[in-house]
Structure 1
Amino acid sequence: MTCHCPGGIKYAPLYIHSFQLLQPRKLLEAERFNIQYTSPSEIDTVADKLRYYRHKKALRQKDVAEKTGIHLATYCAYEQEDRKIPYPLDKLSKIAELFDVEITDLLDHYNLFLYNGQAQQIRALRQSLGLSKKEFGKLYGFHAHTVNQWENDNIQILKTTWVKLFGDE
């Protein structure tokens, strides 16, 4: 800035403050979540929990993707309701850290089952029924080899199979 004053011209530096406004990009969606869910304990799906905490932090999907090093399309897919495969726990750990919550706060029952170790839980269920792997598989319509793979953590149990064994808790 300059000022013409008696005795000469005075110069004053002009400082411009810039900051990001903490406001969700889609205010209507954020308002809907605030009205629909007053607490994250009311939310059943990982996708909705991710949206809830993202809105609570006033972040856009793009912001979360950039701050966690996750590709934007990948993060957007995490917020989709119809996700059939488990969420990668390493990525959810980064997101939980950004949101300042425990990773378990982001998980639904199925993903929490995987997080807590499917092998021990499947083995415990089978043993509580007093069944061999072959008998357990036959009872639920699986091959004994598949049951063995689950109990050794060689393959992940699908969500549809988990629902069949444990119900949609």
Structure 2
Amino acid sequence: MPKWKVFARVSPDFYILCCTDHGKPRFAPLAVHRFRLIAPRNLPEAQRFTRQYHSYEEIGSVPDRLRWCRLQMGLLQREVAERVGVTTPFYIDMETGACEHTPAAVMDRLAALYGVPVTDLLDGYNRFLYEGQARQIQAIRQRTGLSRAAFARKTGISESSLRAWETGRKTISKKCWERYFREKR
């Protein structure tokens, strides 16, 4: 069997090889192709997801959708966090469901990275915030025909909190959203 050697390096990714076969020189091109292997870094986790979910559309929870998208792209949590401009612990909290609120700009960057509609990555609470808490709370109150003070008294919300939510100066907590506005959309 002939032993091939590098005859010339034409470029960083292209070489000419040569060998001697029965006293005759032979030449062959060698092109080195470099590409990122799109494969999950944690194979057991990816296999579990593949068995659990056969397609993205089957996934109901936002944390699982985030994990599915990341694994399909072969990215680490750290890499996703860097690309969307958050800390790794924050992104991990998003994938585990420990994160209650994610800023709209981060959700937009995640949706763009994963190539999915941003609404796919929002639970009810974050969708409420994303679509404009102030406008929605005002609309809910106005449908009742009550003034801010009357609505606050009727629901048991402090008038100052209601004012801060309606003006957007304060983000409503998930607990308050669940208690007062979840079912009223």
**TM superposition score category, shorter chain reference:** 0.7 to 0.9
Amino acid aligned to 2:154? L
- 1:72 matched to 2:72? The reply is no
1:2-33 CA deviation, whole Å, 9 max, x = no partner? 224537x7776654333332211222322333
Calculate the TM-score normalised by the size of structure 1: 0.80
- Aligned residues of 1:40 and 1:52 also touching (Cα < 8 A): no
More strand by share: 2
Structure 2 matches for 1:126-137, cutoff 5 A? 126-137=141-152
- Aligned residues of 2:90 and 2:99 also touching (Cα < 8 A): no
The verdict on how the C-alpha distance between 1:19 and 1:156 changes in structure 2, with shifts beyond 3 A counting, is same
Gaps of 5+ in 2: 6-18
Instruction: Report what 1:58 is aligned to.
Output: 74
Structure 2 matches for 1:16-165, cutoff 5 A? 16-37=32-53, 38-40=55-57, 42-44=59-61, 46-84=62-100, 86-165=101-180
Structure of greater Rg: 2
Gaps of 5+ in 1: none
My pick for the range that moved more, 144-153 or 119-128, is 119-128
* Count of residue pairs the alignment pairs up: 166
My pick for the range that moved more, 114-123 or 30-39, is 30-39
Secondary structure of 2:32's match?
coil
Calculate the TM-score normalised by the size of structure 2: 0.74
Q: How many percent identity over aligned positions?
A: 37
Secondary structure of 1:127's match?
helix
Secondary structure of 1:131's match?
coil
